[in-house]
Chain A
Amino acid sequence: MRYAPAAGLLLVLGGPFFLPDPVAADFGAILAGPSPAHLLGTDQLGRDVLARLLVGARLTLGLTASTLAVTAAAGTLLGLVAGWTGARVLVRLADILAALPTILLGLLTAAVLGPGTASIAVAIGAVGWTPFTRQAYHLTVREAGRDYVTAARSLGAGPARVLIRHIAPNIAAPLVAHLCTRFAGTLLTVSGLSFLGLGVQPPAPEWGAMVADGRAYLVSAPHLVLAPAAAVVLTATLATVLGRRSIAPNQ
């Protein structure tokens, strides 16, 4: 289990070297089921589904990881500062924004920017920081009252040093667990928006777009939906389980 993310990354980065070209159409095998030549079958243009999945992983996981990295860093920093200075306004704003569904924002950003990776990134960026701010705020407020913080301050440490050298390491564990949970949530948002035609557009093998694309062939070639669907569910489950283990390693 611990090595699953590494194994997945290796598959995504190394797999395409051993697989058919993801854009090459094999007209002899259209909508074919799994076979030795095409391990997960082919789509309506005879393209290899496994090769498209692995190329799509870079889109889906890359977009998820990059939006998450920015929102998590910004959100945590805001939460630390708000917790230290007692700026509750920021947390109230986060509470209000958190009530808005990301899909709604995705619809709006798609209406303004046109559907694409930019509209997804803006929609996730607008609300993605809120859970990190809320959690970092509450953890910082809790830690700020502890003896070791008082000790550091009475030794003359400034606010930046106390926050980064003393408080941040002590609240890192729950934040990392939260990061794993949010990875699953962000992945579902990215691929969900693409599924709705509001994000990465269908010729690109983004996983949600692949599910949407395959729905027309649900009866004749269910593997076109099931393969990307399984990729989404497996990755989201893996991230969730890793998050839970980092909180309670014995479970």
Chain B
Amino acid sequence: MSRLLRRLVLIPPVLLAVSVPVFALPRLTGADPVRTVLRTRVASEVPDPAVQARVAADFGLDGSPVTQYLHWLGAALRGDLGLSFVTRTPVAAAIGSALLVSGLLAVLALALAAAVGLPAGVHAARRPGGPLDKALTGAGILGVAVPEFVLAPVLVLVFAVGAGVVPAVGWGSPRHLILPVVTLAVYPAALAAQLVRAETVDVLARPHVRTARANGLAPARVLWRHAARLSTTSVLALSGMFTAGLIGGSVVVEVVFGIPGLGRVLHDAVLAQDLPMIQAGTLTVVAVALLAGVLAEAVQLALDPVAR
């Protein structure tokens, strides 16, 4: 328990430390942020100095870099993350709604991956080297090797363009969720199946399984109650492994399917040099990754008595 608390307490200082390079690095490109703000709205090459001064004041771009950072940090601690250079609306509100969208996507994808990947791994372990194991192992290798940016257009081609059963892009109805969630779930499902298979093969060779068999329990009962329970919980304890892949995958999925999530907001911000959005978006992703790490450790502690 104290280990979890210590990791939770460490998150704010880590975020503070990360905020310095996240604030400073995108400003090292040499591009004047004031010009970035104006270029998005005004076509003329040299803006009026008075206009430049007002934009600098409005977006907190006046003063030395250190004062700019301290101003931004002070406002950020009060929940004000500044104004977007592109939309000129508050960044905090945009990040908040995008986080909800990405969170929904990630939770649904993880649930689907667990529902498919865990039983598939157990079934494959029933007869190692058998036809079912070979087929599932092959599917697992392919599932890890197919990236989201390949899977998404192929699924759109088959199910939206070809069969016409789901919409190709967009956001708003439950039907819009199907292709993005499936795309995002394939990698964690394949990874989970591989891990569960290896664990289950391992567990099936242990003495308690032999005892259960010798006592005359039905093979299915031995497999699911005595082996699968152990092997799936030990894989769930590794769930931290899935976070980085899921965050990276959601950037691609959100860009391809036009979903207003955090990954797409960050991607668009980078391409538009929208500094306040880059800063807030990056810090949010880092915070989510760190929190997911703590959550994974909590799951491990809850499930694995040895680690406790």
* Chain A residues within 8 Å of B, Cβ to Cβ: 98-104, 107-108, 110-114, 184, 188, 191-192, 195-198, 208, 211-212, 215, 218-219, 222, 225-226, 229, 232-233, 236-237, 240-241, 244
Contact = CB atoms under 8 A, between A and B. Distances in A.
A192 to B, nearest CB: 6
A249 to B, nearest CB: 14
A219 B149 contact: no
Given A108-B25, A198-B270, A103 B149 contact: no
Interface string B247-265: 1100110011000000100
A89 B267 CA distance: 33
Interface stretch (B51-59, B67-75, B115-123, B238-246): B238-246
Q: Of A108, A208, A212, A229, which is in contact with the most chain B CB atoms at under 10 Å from its CB?
A: A108
Contacts of B153: 211, 215, 218, 225, 229
A100 B289 contact: yes
B220 interface: no
B210 to A, nearest CB: 24
Nearest to B263: A103
Interface residues of B, number: 43
A218 B251 contact: no
A207 to B, nearest CB: 10
8 contacts: A101-B244, A104-B286, A110-B270, A111-B29, A218-B156, A218-B161, A229-B150, A232-B147
Task: Please list the 8 inter-chain residue pairs (A to B) with the smallest Cβ-Cβ separation, ordered nearest first.
Answer: A103-B248, A236-B145, A101-B248, A229-B150, A195-B149, A237-B145, A101-B247, A101-B244
Nearest to B244: A101
Q: Which secondary structure dominates chain B's binding surface?
A: helix
B93 interface: no
Contacts of A226: 154
A111 B25 contact: yes
A108 B28 CA distance: 12
B26 interface: yes
Contact of B161 (A107, A219, A240): A219
Contacts of B289: 99-101
Contacts of B282: 104, 107-108
B137 to A, nearest CB: 8
Nearest to B158: A222
A212 B142 CA distance: 21
B181 interface: no
Nearest to A226: B154
A100 B244 contact: yes
Nearest to B27: A112
Nearest to A228: B150
Given A99-B293, A111-B273, A232 B141 contact: no
Given A99-B289, A233-B146, A114 B29 contact: yes
B243 A99 contact: yes
A233 B146 CA distance: 5
B42 interface: no
Contacts of A237: 141-142, 145
A100 B22 CA distance: 14
A101 B290 CA distance: 11
B144 A240 contact: yes
Nearest to B281: A107
Contact of B252 (A99, A113, A195, A236): A195
Interface of B: 22, 25-26, 28-29, 141-142, 144-150, 153-154, 156-157, 161, 240, 243-245, 247-248, 251-252, 255-256, 263, 266-267, 270-271, 273, 278, 282, 285-286, 289-290, 292-293
Given A107-B270, A111-B270, A218 B157 contact: yes
Q: Of A112, A198, A232, which is in contact with the most chain B CB atoms at under 10 Å from its CB?
A: A112
A233 to B, nearest CB: 5
A109 to B, nearest CB: 9
A184 to B, nearest CB: 6
Nearest to B29: A112
Contacts of A98: 244
Nearest to A109: B25
Nearest to B251: A103
Contacts of A236: 145-147
Contacts of A225: 153-154, 157
Given A100-B244, A211-B150, A196 B142 contact: no
Nearest to B18: A100
A103 B247 contact: yes
A111 B266 CA distance: 10
B40 to A, nearest CB: 16
Contacts of A198: 267, 270
Nearest to B290: A99
A184 B267 contact: no
A179 B255 CA distance: 30
Nearest to A235: B145
B150 A232 contact: yes
Q: Of A101, A102, A226, which is in contact with the most chain B CB atoms at under 10 Å from its CB?
A: A101
